[in-house]
Amino acid sequence: MRQQTLDLIIEGGWVIDGLGGPRRRADVGVAGERIAAIGDLADVAAARRVDARGKIVAPGFIDVHGHDDLMFVERPGLEWKTSQGITSVVVGNCGVSGAPAPLPGNTAAALALLGETPLFTDMRAYFDALRAQQPMINVAALVGHANLRLAAMRDPAAQPTEQEQDAMQRMLDDALAAGAVGFSTGLAYQPGGAAQAAELEGLARVAAARGAMHTSHIRNEGDEVEAAVDEVLAVGRNTGCATVLSHHKCMLPRNWGKSHATLANIDRARGEGVDVALDIYPYPGSSTILIPERAEIIDDIRITWSTPHPECGGEYLSDIAARWGCDKTTAARRLCPAGAIYFAMDETEVQRIFRHERCMVGSDGLPNDAHPHPRLWGSFTRVLGRYVREAQLLTLEAAVAKMTALPARVFGLAGRGQLTDGAWADIVVFDADTIEDRATWEAPTLASAGVEHVLVNGSQVFPAAAGMPRPGRILRREAMAADAAGSVQ
């Protein structure tokens, strides 16, 4: 080892390994795509050295909930990821994914979240396109349940026939064989909302047989949130399929506080052997397509994009309705298809959910939005600046573990999410005293502060440099041994 010339040594920083243990001052050596050594490397030769004195050196962050499926093709720089230290993302969430493509004539409003590129025939074709394009960061992909319905069913709003259910299960199995890590449901949207237990459990059994998983945007995050959580937990309980509850929240003031019950039910399921985790984004506003039925029950709704009225992006629905001289529901219908931010969450409850030992961080960012939710550019730095440094909700080491080793464990991303000898060299260097999100509701695409260096598989991706390679890989789900990563709760 002492005779080897390393490609890079990050020297003098405070190393947080991602596994939850205390930081230590050490150098980190990189050879090729892997971490070659951690310790005192002062006498080791290196082609390049980076001074990290006074800074934190941590595993690159894993965004467990992205909608960047088509952005790898349309906007491959992914600056909204790299600038906040994200080195891996899980795409295909909320039931919509880059593949499979719908049957002719079938569509769904939620597909507009993804981008303009035509969807791919199947996941194998999607992965081939990503490899040809070369991703900037690592990507793990889920198969969208809405895509399966749209690709298999002549009437996606109906219940599947036996033949259509078989077709969905075969498509899912093929996608998992091609490298997808699981499937996602968007039960709050159509056509996913038409699904009943037998359909969901049939798909979950296919995933479980492959050692894959099910993530879910649950059916209701408002008045029926407890029943909606229980519905998804029952799928995991009845099939043995690993489960993630996406962007868990309790919407509308009358439901604030219900997370006490939902988290208790999650823990009860875990005690029964259900493999379940969850994620949040650290904001009190949610964002998705504009749903006119919400117009009168949520006071503050901000439009993020509108196809017929693009000039309304960034405005509040109430202001648009007043200008048009109509009620908010009518205005919303005139704006559709459109996207919106809904201010209906309680910050205290978001923080309570975040502290749960199985809670991870997912940006749920929508890069295709003209005026996106600031979570796209600021989720991970917001956690480190506001939740750790300012609010002191948990230690920096614990927060890093939630964004690195825990998601690597949950999604089966072997060799990721930890700084250990031989691990993949996904690394972020940041200043714990200055790191913060700068994206706001008014200026949602401002890059974060405090992130100084980001490496993916040993290659620099931030700050961007001319001629910089795109070093990301497509990640498959792997069975992980009960090693140090398994100690992360």
Please indicate, yes or no, whether residues 274 and 315 belong to a single structural domain of this protein: no
Q: Provide the token pair at 14.
A: 């405070």
Q: Provide the token pair at 260.
A: 């006490």
CA angle 185–219–192, rounded 5-degree value: 40
Residue 370 lies in a domain: yes
Please indicate, yes or no, whether residues 237 and 222 belong to a single structural domain of this protein: yes
Q: What is the Cα–Cα distance from 14 to 58, expressed in whole angstroms? A: 8
Q: Provide the token pair at 25.
A: 């001052």
pLDDT of residue 483: 40
Nearest to 399 by CA among 443, 344, 442, 355: 355
Q: Which 3 state secondary structure label does DSSP give 110?
A: helix
pLDDT, mean over the chain: 95
Among candidate residues 344, 371, 388, the one where a domain is terminated: 344
Among candidate residues 300, 321, 344, the one where a domain is terminated: 344
Q: What is the Cα–Cα distance from 167 to 160, expressed in whole angstroms? A: 10
Please indicate, yes or no, whether residues 147 and 233 belong to a single structural domain of this protein: yes
Domain coverage including residue 321: 286-344
Residue 444 lies in a domain: no
The 8-class DSSP code of residue 44 comes to: S
Please indicate, yes or no, whether residues 248 and 138 belong to a single structural domain of this protein: yes
For the whole model, what pTM was predicted?
0.96
Residue 476 lies in a domain: no
pLDDT of residue 407: 98
Residue 304 lies in a domain: yes
8 Å CB contact between 360 and 279: yes
pLDDT of residue 489: 36
Q: What CATH number is associated with residue 197?
A: 3.20.20.140
**Band (352; pLDDT cuts 50, 70, 90):** very high
Q: What CATH number is associated with residue 20?
A: 2.30.40.10
pLDDT of residue 4: 84
Secondary element (H or E) of residue 80: helix 79-82
pLDDT of residue 3: 62
Q: 73: alpha, beta or left, given left = phi > 0 and alpha = psi -120 to 50?
A: alpha
Among candidate residues 329, 344, 359, the one where a domain is terminated: 344
Nearest to 291 by CA among 239, 328, 248, 243: 328
Residue 100 lies in a domain: yes
Nearest to 155 by CA among 201, 194, 184: 194
Please indicate, yes or no, whether residues 307 and 384 belong to a single structural domain of this protein: no
Q: What CATH number is associated with residue 290?
A: 3.30.1490.130
Nearest to 98 by CA among 150, 162, 147, 34: 147
pLDDT tens string 382-428: 999 999 999 999 999 999 999 999 999 999 999 999 999 999 999 99
Q: What is the Cα–Cα distance from 95 to 332, expressed in whole angstroms? A: 23
β-pairing verdict for 338-343 and 8-15? unpaired
8 Å CB contact between 405 and 19: yes
Asked whether residue 480 carries a pLDDT value surpassing 60, the answer given is no
Asked whether residue 482 carries a pLDDT value surpassing 60, the answer given is no
Please indicate, yes or no, whether residues 316 and 372 belong to a single structural domain of this protein: no
Number of domains within the chain: 3
Asked whether residue 67 carries a pLDDT value surpassing 90, the answer given is yes
Please indicate, yes or no, whether residues 19 and 50 belong to a single structural domain of this protein: yes
pLDDT tens string 279-323: 999 999 999 999 999 999 999 999 999 999 999 999 999 999 999
Please indicate, yes or no, whether residues 296 and 378 belong to a single structural domain of this protein: no
pLDDT tens string 78-102: 999 999 999 999 999 999 999 999 9
Q: What is the Cα–Cα distance from 217 to 291, expressed in whole angstroms? A: 15
The 8-class DSSP code of residue 383 comes to: I
What Cα–Cα distance (Å) separates residue 99 from each residue in 92, 117, 150, 488?
9, 11, 11, 33
